[in-house]
Amino acid sequence: MKSKFREFLFEAKHRTGLLVAAATVAVSLYMGVGAVAQSKSTLSALPPTPQAPKDNPTTPAKVALGKLLFWDPLLSGPQDVACASCHHPQNGYAEDRDLSLGVTSIGLGKSRHQSPGSTIPIVKRNSPTLLNIAFSGSDQSGSYDPATAPMFWDMRVKSLEKQALEPLKALEEMRENTYPEGDEAVAKVVAKLQANAEYRRLFAGAFGGKQPVSAENLGRAIAAFERTLLANNSPFDRYMRGDRSAMTEEQVRGMQRFESVGCVKCHSGPMFSDYKLHVMGIPDNPALPASDDGAEKTYAFRTPTLRNLNFTAPYEHNGMFPTLSAVVGFYEDASGGRSRNPNVSPEKLDPLLRELKDFDEEDVDLVEFLRALSDDKFDRTIPERVPSGLPVGGKIQ
Ligand code: HEC
Ligand code: HEC
């Protein structure tokens, strides 16, 4: 009974939505093209190819080398983890588990587990997708500078080139206690690559110069490969490029809702992110020994892209929400001024959260629209072997 009533309310709401939309179109037509341009949404399709920094133009040789490096566990201290262990194409280059497990762990995604007796802590965050990471930093008009593109949930690193060296230094991701900390850890990895004849040849072919095997070129090759991980032809992209049949009616209504309720205030531009930090009050993950207080201990985290969510559950910086409906339910609470994290008082919540209005957990259209932002035709190819001869992708079997 109750649910029938809800359905009725829903229907009514949608009908009003359509009426408003129809009225907007009528007014725009009446006022001429200028008005249409003014009411243009901040959402747009992604371009077909990304830009690269001036000092690292993308070449086939770099991409081929970067792909091998990405899959080679030689880069980790105990030689058991590769970048692909936590960013696997099977899970949209993200992971289907809440928090990552690095060195000394075994398995892939959900079935990955710490090996008995391991003293290595779990990684405190959820692995983000690398699909479209090339477009990181895109503003509302779609411009971005790949040399300063923000990386990580707290934006602590700029550019793919620099980011690629960070996991090598992180104890719980790829370093273990095998190497010293910081740049010395990277130097150890470079020495291992230098000792491998196939890598020496591939680095020379991709970069030339006197010392082709270097930390800088290691970052460059991986970044060049990551720029090829594109999924930019979703139903939404095709719709925006003019194919009006690419999205369902529900999805088109959901897109209007996405803008009218205010999601678009933070999830804007072709990546659906403003690349800014916001205090959201996502609940802490109980698996962690301490609360994750985000960027500069403010509990702020970066707006993530909303592209390819169909492959990247669970959601948020700590994987606390298993489904998109759970995320929407969270926003219903937050818009009412309720914080879901006891360390974040309601006054600290981002003001834009309170401005969200007029939607609820059962907002089917909104979720349907989010589903239209995924493109499943991305590159899933895995190299047959890697130059070290170690298992491709690390101990993920
Ligand atoms: C043990 C799992 C693990 C491994 C191994 C790993 N990553 Fe990640 N990666 C993560 C997690 C977790 C984050 C988010 C960390 C944060 O934001 O603090 C991340 C973040 C990133 C980001 C930033 C994405 C964004 O949207 O900001 C990039 C790029 C990336 N990783 C690439 C790599 C590369 C390249 C390698 C190999 C050199 C690698 N990762 C190895 C788990 C891993
Ligand atoms: C105040 C800015 C802001 C507004 C408004 C906002 N979001 Fe978010 N959104 C964020 C931030 C920041 C995160 C990441 C928070 C975290 O993990 O701590 C996020 C996370 C998400 C995620 C999880 C994505 C992932 O890969 O983990 C989804 C889905 C999402 N938002 C959808 C929405 C929808 C739908 C709306 C409108 C109802 C909305 N957002 C409104 C800033 C915002």
d(CA 220, CA 208): 13
Q: What is the structure's pLDDT at 293?
A: 98
Q: Per-residue pLDDT tens for 208-233?
A: 999 999 999 999 999 999 999 999 99
Question: How far does the centroid of ligand 1 lie from the alpha carbon of residue 120, in Å?
Answer: 17
- Tell the residue nearest (CA) to atom 36 of ligand 2: 263
Mean pLDDT of 228-244: 98
Q: Per-residue pLDDT tens for 245-292?
A: 999 999 999 999 999 999 999 999 999 999 999 999 999 999 999 999
Residues 6 or more apart in contact with residue 62 via CB below 8 angstroms: 56, 206, 207, 220, 221, 224, 225
Measured CA distances, 109 to 101, 287, 378 (Å) = 9, 16, 19
Q: Give the number of residues written for the chain.
A: 397
Q: What single letter denotes the amino acid at residue 210?
A: K
Query: Which of 124-138, 192-206, 357-371 has the least mean pLDDT?
Result: 357-371
Residues 92 and 131 sit within 8 Å (Cβ to Cβ): yes
Q: What is the structure's pLDDT at 41?
A: 73
Q: What is the structure's pLDDT at 1?
A: 37
Mean pLDDT of 335-340: 91
Measured CA distances, 22 to 252, 253, 254, 315 (Å) = 13, 12, 15, 34
pLDDT band at 27; cut points 50, 70, 90: very low
Question: How far does the centroid of ligand 1 lie from the alpha carbon of residue 11, in Å?
Answer: 42
Q: What is the structure's pLDDT at 28?
A: 40
85: pLDDT strictly greater than 60 = yes
174: pLDDT strictly greater than 70 = yes
Question: How far does the centroid of ligand 1 lie from the alpha carbon of residue 221, in Å?
Answer: 16
Question: How far does the centroid of ligand 1 lie from the alpha carbon of residue 354, in Å?
Answer: 31
Query: Which of 1-5, 44-48, 144-148 has the least mean pLDDT?
Result: 1-5
Ligand at shortest distance from the CA of 186 = 1
- Full-model pTM: 0.91
Mean pLDDT of 163-191: 93
- What is the share, in percent, of the chain residues with pLDDT greater than 90? 83
pLDDT band at 38; cut points 50, 70, 90: very low
d(CA 180, CA 178): 7
Mean pLDDT of 111-127: 95
Mutate to test the pocket of ligand 2, among 331, 343, 358, 359 (most ligand atoms within 8 A of CB): 331
178: pLDDT strictly greater than 90 = no
Q: Which two tokens stand for residue 22?
A: 């129809």
65: nearest Cα among 193, 173, 211: 193
Q: What is the structure's pLDDT at 11?
A: 46
Q: What is the structure's pLDDT at 40?
A: 59
8: pLDDT strictly greater than 60 = no
Question: How far does the centroid of ligand 2 lie from the alpha carbon of residue 319, in Å?
Answer: 13
123: nearest Cα among 159, 152, 161, 164: 152
Question: How far does the centroid of ligand 2 lie from the alpha carbon of residue 303, in Å?
Answer: 6
d(CA 274, CA 134): 15
d(CA 96, CA 319): 9
Is any atom of ligand 2 closer than 6 Å to the C-beta of 327? yes
Average pLDDT, the chain: 91
Measured CA distances, 266 to 150, 208, 279 (Å) = 15, 43, 12
Mean pLDDT of 80-101: 98
Mutate to test the pocket of ligand 1, among 85, 86, 292 (most ligand atoms within 8 A of CB): 86
pLDDT band at 361; cut points 50, 70, 90: low
- Tell the residue nearest (CA) to atom 2 of ligand 2: 266
